[in-house]
Amino acid sequence: MRHSLRSSRDVIIRTPDLSQAIHHYESIMGFAIFHHSANMVGFETGSFRLYIESGPAHPPVFDMLVDDVQAAKAAMLAAGCELLEEDPQQPRCYVRDRFGLTFNLGRTAS
């Protein structure tokens, strides 16, 4: 599996106060908005894109692209990772590794 994961430039955080987060990252940090929807805002920071999603707060999630989400999830769980959240409609899932990092396993574009 080590060759099947590929990072994107996306980092995702979730907050219950989306408007305050938008103000902070746009006005204080000076990041430019490139995506805006009802529940998510994307900022261009230079080296990475920061997505702020409305919802219960959680630490940063690093976006990893895979050909087969279920196979990657199974391999990570077998290696001691914890499944935090899953959305089969996307398909994608959040997995925390044994060292505390959280990854979004999403499917590569075909």
- How large a percentage of the chain has pLDDT more than 70? 96
Per-residue model confidence as pLDDT tens digits over 14-45:
999 999 999 999 999 999 999 999 999 999 99
Concatenate the DSSP letters of all residues of 9-65 into one string.
Answer: EEEEEEES-HHHHHHIIIIIS-PEEEEE-SSEEEEE-SSSEEEEEESS-EEEEEEEE
**Is residue 1 one of the residues assigned to a domain?**
no
The neighbouring-strand residues paired with 93 are 86, 105
Residue 83 CA from chain centroid, whole number: 14
Domain presence at residue 98: yes
Paired tokens of 84: 């935090």
Write out the two tokens for 97.
Answer: 């590794």
Asked whether residue 72 is assigned to any structural domain, the reply reads yes
Domain of 86?
A: 6-107
Domain annotation covers residue 54? yes
Q: Is residue 19 part of a domain?
A: yes
**43-62: average pLDDT:** 95
Residue 1 — very low, low, confident or very high, per pLDDT cuts 50/70/90?
very low
57 domain residue, yes or no: yes
Asked whether residue 89 is assigned to any structural domain, the reply reads yes
Instruction: Give the CATH number, domain containing residue 30.
Output: 3.10.180.10
pTM: 0.86
Residue 29 resides in a domain: yes
Q: Give the count of domains, the chain.
A: 1
